[in-house]
């Protein structure tokens, strides 16, 4: 794949992530949508960094990207009604983005670009951790009692 195509693909994937998070936020309860809304600007920063890197590498060239690109899911609408499944899907996408940046880092001979892509991979990993924390919070809401209160009852 040519370098220009890599930039376009990466920028479009960042736009797709933003569009996905906007969509997920609009379909979630307010407390769940906040996490998706907080990820949108982070993905926008990645997009802007890639646009800047493109213009530095290809000065004066017009960058043509699809601003309406959306991430496709093969999951059923029923699956996507469950908050955990939504978070799992978002984690999958963050993981794929991290792997893509790592691949780009490993495929370039340019030390500066390698560091840049590794930084973006690390940031995608942080996004993944944020989503995993949300799953943990979700799981903890299912415990409605303090387990320590059972001390003594379990000795039978």
Q: Where are the domains of the chain?
A: 3-144
The model's pTM is 0.73
With 70 as the cut, is the pLDDT of residue 5 above it?
Answer: yes
46 or 2: which leads in pLDDT: 46
CATH code 1.20.1260.10 for 3-144: yes
Q: Report whether pLDDT(86) > 70.
A: yes
The mean of the pLDDT values for the chain is: 80
What's the pLDDT band for 72 if we cut at 50, 70, 90? low
Which tokens in the block code for residue 150?
């059972």
Torsion of CA 135, 32, 80, 93, to 10 degrees: -60
Q: How far is CA 86 from CA 8, 54, 113, 135, in A?
A: 27, 32, 33, 10
The answer on pLDDT for 56 being more than 80 is yes
pLDDT confidence bin for 75, thresholds 50/70/90? low
- Split at pLDDT 50, 70, 90, the class of 77 is low
What CA–CA distance (Å, rounded) separates 150 from 154?
7
Q: What confidence category does residue 156 fall into, taking pLDDT thresholds of 50, 70 and 90?
A: very low
pLDDT tens-place string over residues 94-152? 888 898 889 888 888 889 888 988 999 999 999 999 989 888 887 776 554 455 555 55
Q: Cα separation of 104 and 127, whole Å?
A: 19
């Amino acid at each position: 794949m040519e370098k220009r195509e890599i930039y376009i693909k990466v920028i479009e994937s960042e736009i797709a992530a933003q569009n996905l998070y906007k969509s997920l936020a609009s379909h979630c309860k307010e407390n769940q949508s906040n996490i998706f809304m907080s990820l949108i600007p982070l993905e926008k920063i990645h997009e802007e960094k890639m646009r800047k890197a493109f213009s530095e590498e290809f000065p004066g060239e017009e960058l043509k990207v699809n601003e309406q690109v959306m991430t496709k899911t093969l999951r059923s609408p029923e699956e996507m009604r469950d908050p955990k499944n939504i978070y799992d899907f978002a984690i999958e996408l963050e993981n794929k983005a991290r792997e893509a940046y790592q691949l780009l880092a490993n495929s370039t001979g340019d030390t500066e670009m390698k560091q840049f892509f590794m930084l973006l991979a690390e940031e995608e990993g942080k996004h993944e951790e944020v989503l995993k924390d949300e799953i943990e919070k979700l799981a903890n809401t299912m415990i409605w009692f303090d387990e320590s209160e059972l001390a003594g009852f379990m000795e039978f």
